[in-house]
Amino acid sequence: MDTGNLALSAFLLLAAIGFVAGAIGTLVGAGGGFLIVPALLLLRPEATPAELASTSLAVVFFNAYSGTAAYLRMGRLDGYAATLFALASVPGAALAALLVHEVPRGAFQGVFGVLLLALGLAVLRDPLGPPRPGAAAGRAPDLRADRRRARIGAIGSAYLSSAASLLGIGGGIVQVPFLVRVLAFPPHLATAVSQAVLTVSALAATVVHVARGTLEGRLDETLSLAVGVMMGAPVGAALSARVGGAAIVRALGAALCLVGVRLLLRLL
Amino acid sequence: MTGGTLALVVAALVLPALWGWLVPGLLARAWPRREPPPSAGAQPPLPDYEI
């Protein structure tokens, strides 16, 4: 693909990929990176992991931003939790964007692939896990009062964002199960908080990639995907209001398995 | 592995935990809960007259 002078057909293909990634990503509270990275792997076999991660994370930013705006309009965003976990995610996401240039991904990718597959299967088997206080009432936990849970959430978000930034997949596919199963967030609130965290962590990683010049020469490709995701994200947000909590988490479990298998297959 | 890479790996392993531990306290201080005013929720005083 000639990324310096993008043909109309290439633009339409990338925008269509972006639209699907945007809609499905927002529906499950992810940024769509888990769909964008494999698509880019097929389209650009010569790209390095750092190039793929930087393009994907830039698109994830646009998608997550669009999704967060949609959730804000719907009044579904817990502002305190979103701010807390977004702030916590910044250093790890930025460091991982530097580290992806230095660290060979083979071993880490294999471990992460197995972890994602295991987590996906666990979520598919038991979508909502054991009932937890707060989740049943459909309310987010009070993180101002529960400092222990706030710390677990902040530290978890920080490490999840680092690992996700290293793989260029944003991290919502892991963030939502973490919020639901560990912190007892109701799924429909977890997806909105996850989108807000992705917006900030993907932006932090993208700023580092831009500063290092990793995104140079691929702006048209990134923007074509971004146009698609920004059109798809509101569709995903609207769909999420009509789909029940268990269905969202089940869709997420399937997505986790998909990414896990993809990561393991890439090692062969 | 160069010294710079090692420093990055160590920072990536340590910094998220430290920052994640600190940020809830900092945010709670910067963004305290807004307590409702004492009169909020109270019934308006009834007029003092007989029917």
Distance from CA of B16 to the nearest CA of A (A): 5
Query: Closest-CA residue in chain B for A87?
Result: B23
- Predicted pLDDT of residue A8: 86
Query: Does A260 contact B at CB distance below 8 Å?
Result: no
Q: Which residue has the tokens 């890439």?
A: A266
Exposure string of A109-141, with b = 16+ CB inside 10 Å and e = fewer, is beebbeebbebbeebbeebbbeebebbeeeebb
Chain-chain contact of B15 with A80 (C-beta, under 8 angstroms): no
Looking at the partner chain, which of A88, A102, A143 has a beta carbon nearest the beta carbon of B20? A88
Looking at the partner chain, which of B2, B27, B33 has a beta carbon nearest the beta carbon of A84? B27
Looking at the partner chain, which of B8, B19, B27 has a beta carbon nearest the beta carbon of A99? B8
- Predicted pLDDT of residue A199: 94
Residues 229 through 248 of chain A touching chain B, CB cutoff 8 Å? none
Distance from CA of A52 to the nearest CA of B (A): 20
Distance, first Cα to last Cα, chain A: 25
In contact, A153 and A140? CB cutoff 8 Å = no
- Predicted pLDDT of residue A46: 75
Q: How far is CA A209 from the centre of its chain?
A: 17
Looking at the partner chain, which of B16, B25, B27 has a beta carbon nearest the beta carbon of A158? B16
Residues of A in Cβ contact (< 8 Å) with B34: none
Q: pTM (2 decimals)? A: 0.80
Chain-chain contact of B15 with A102 (C-beta, under 8 angstroms): no
Distance CA A252, CA A191 (A): 10
Query: Closest-CA residue in chain A for B26?
Result: A84
Distance from CA of A141 to the nearest CA of B (A): 14
- Predicted pLDDT of residue A112: 63
Chain-chain contact of B19 with A144 (C-beta, under 8 angstroms): no
Query: Does A87 contact B at CB distance below 8 Å?
Result: yes
Tens-place pLDDT, residues B24-44: 999 999 988 776 666 656 666
- Its sign, for the CA torsion B29, B34, B37, B43, is negative
Chain-chain contact of A91 with B16 (C-beta, under 8 angstroms): yes
Q: Which residue has the tokens 């209001």?
A: A241
Distance from CA of B41 to the nearest CA of A (A): 21
Residues of B in Cβ contact (< 8 Å) with A162: 12, 16
Chain-chain contact of A103 with B24 (C-beta, under 8 angstroms): no
Rg (CA), chain B: 27
Per-residue pLDDT of chain A (268 residues; tens, 9 = 90+): 444 556 888 899 999 999 988 887 777 767 788 778 777 877 777 778 888 889 999 999 988 888 888 888 988 899 999 999 999 999 999 999 998 887 666 665 676 677 678 877 877 887 655 444 444 457 788 888 888 999 999 999 999 999 889 888 888 878 888 998 899 898 888 988 998 999 999 999 999 999 999 888 888 889 999 999 888 888 887 877 776 656 766 777 787 788 788 778 877 7
Residue A257 tokens read as 């398995």
Q: What is the ipTM of this complex?
A: 0.75
Residues of A in Cβ contact (< 8 Å) with B31: 80, 83
